Structure 1
């Protein structure tokens, strides 16, 4: 009787922890919002954007449901390592430093950075910016770039992109250094602001090969399935359709 009971309990444990059972639950995805047009929240609370729709298409290709988990940028990798979600999809550039902590997918797009300044201010971003107030989101590649190349500037770091934009709109910043699509969405459609200098995707030591999803290092099989699904989403035209919808030509 005891042996039968033990065998039954053991079988129940195996079944409830089997890979097949794990496959049935939604994949939880960590994301920092807002970061328009890649990730942002609608009035009803739903999270959407270019990367959100792209990853949802990848999940569908993998035959998995997905759920989005909001997480501030500073804690997004610690949250992954603490198993708050299964992976990160939040416009995260693949960098050597981050690759020490997480396992990245193949890169699936590249995002150039851009300088944006007040239109009535004469500032040459290719010269010394000592004393110039520059807004960046803390912990991003833009933060690293400004810190490396303009250490004498008045670098003002914000927890999220909304704080950067708010201070630019209120005139408390001379320059913003941010992702080009975000600048297009939130600043460059206003004659008050103007783009300064060329788009920036170098050096590779900061920008890496592009944006990818970040996983725990033990989840190599999940990364391989993600990469295969992303390749299919690109091959079947979904990626191009979403790119046109959000960015145009």
Structure 2
């Protein structure tokens, strides 16, 4: 599924990522290699919950990062899912995807209880989350945004005083809204689907969340993004803190995907600004 017409700032983000060094202060060490690099990390004991399978938890749907897709072997697609599929392929593993609540993912509950090996769900790397989780290198730079109906008189975050704004529970969007719109009535939802349904029903006046997800809600022409917010957010894949072999293997595969150009191909599938 091709996603076009995202804002130029997102394309610029991908360029910055593709030019970045293999290492990252947010993640482990990256390696050198080609598109099918396996290396020592891939051959190590990755301590997987099912032999031969990389089991990934994700909060679905969250377009364009994760969505159900019966045409794929895993039953899912999206930017995150396509990346972890490529990582699994590079490690010569099958991919299994399990739907999970975002709160269970960002808190570490899903990983630490053995539901999955890796969480791939547009999850921002934060200091609080790093207390319970290990993260890969950052693989995507994101922004927050404010979505309103076309006929709304809300033009900026300052207009949310006395209004009801929807956020997703446990996300950095919720944190940003609490910090920057303290006079708004903030309603937290378990998922984007419920948030958007509430906006459509007039139960909330606006949504504040990740820019690419709000962009998806503008495609029918009834809603618009009135503001974007730079927060220096970087998404990472989350794993158990003690599974350093898997963290190293994932970082090695991310480096190989950048070097081979496959990362850019996956990125362009969902975020290309060309018509």
Q: TM over 0.5: same fold? A: yes
Look up the match of 1:55.
84
Q: Aligned with 2:142: secondary structure?
A: coil
Look up the match of 2:67.
40
Q: Specify which of 211, 218, 223 is matched with residue 180 of structure 1.
A: 211
Relative to the length of structure 2, the TM-score reads 0.76
Do 1:105 and 1:226's aligned partners in 2 also have CA atoms closer than 8 Å? yes
Q: Aligned with 1:58: secondary structure?
A: helix
Q: Specify which of 233, 244, 247 is matched with residue 257 of structure 2.
A: 233
Q: Specify which of 134, 141, 159 is matched with residue 103 of structure 1.
A: 134
Number of residue pairs aligned between Structure 1 and Structure 2: 225
User: For residues 221 and 42 of structure 1, what CA distance do their matches in structure 2 show?
Assistant: 30
User: For residues 151 and 21 of structure 1, what CA distance do their matches in structure 2 show?
Assistant: 44
* Unmatched 5+ stretches in structure 2: 1-43
Do 1:61 and 1:233's aligned partners in 2 also have CA atoms closer than 8 Å? no
User: For residues 240 and 51 of structure 2, what CA distance do their matches in structure 1 show?
Assistant: 20
Do 1:29 and 1:86's aligned partners in 2 also have CA atoms closer than 8 Å? yes
Shift in CA distance, 104/20, structure 1 to aligned 2, threshold 3 Å: closer
Whether 1:247 aligns to 2:271 is yes
Moved more, 53-62 or 18-27: 18-27
Q: CA deviation at 1:172?
A: 2.0
- Once the two structures are superposed, what CA deviation does each residue of 1:106-163 show, in whole Å capped at 9, x if it has no partner? 1011121211112112123242522111011111110110011112201111011100
User: For residues 141 and 229 of structure 1, what CA distance do their matches in structure 2 show?
Assistant: 27
* Unmatched 5+ stretches in structure 1: 1-17
Whether 1:201 aligns to 2:230 is yes
More helix by share: 1
User: For residues 154 and 196 of structure 1, what CA distance do their matches in structure 2 show?
Assistant: 19
User: For residues 138 and 52 of structure 1, what CA distance do their matches in structure 2 show?
Assistant: 22
User: For residues 21 and 147 of structure 1, what CA distance do their matches in structure 2 show?
Assistant: 38
Q: Aligned with 2:195: secondary structure?
A: helix
Q: Specify which of 58, 62, 65 is matched with residue 31 of structure 1.
A: 58
Look up the match of 2:247.
223
The structure showing larger relative contact order (alpha-carbon pairs under 8 Å, at least 6 residues apart) is 2
Look up the match of 1:74.
103
Do 1:118 and 1:193's aligned partners in 2 also have CA atoms closer than 8 Å? yes
Q: CA deviation at 1:21?
A: 9.7
Do 2:137 and 2:251's aligned partners in 1 also have CA atoms closer than 8 Å? yes
Shift in CA distance, 101/25, structure 1 to aligned 2, threshold 3 Å: same
Q: CA deviation at 1:238?
A: 1.2
Do 2:218 and 2:225's aligned partners in 1 also have CA atoms closer than 8 Å? yes
Q: CA deviation at 1:171?
A: 2.1
Relative to the length of structure 1, the TM-score reads 0.84
Look up the match of 2:219.
189
User: For residues 86 and 20 of structure 1, what CA distance do their matches in structure 2 show?
Assistant: 9
Look up the match of 2:8.
none
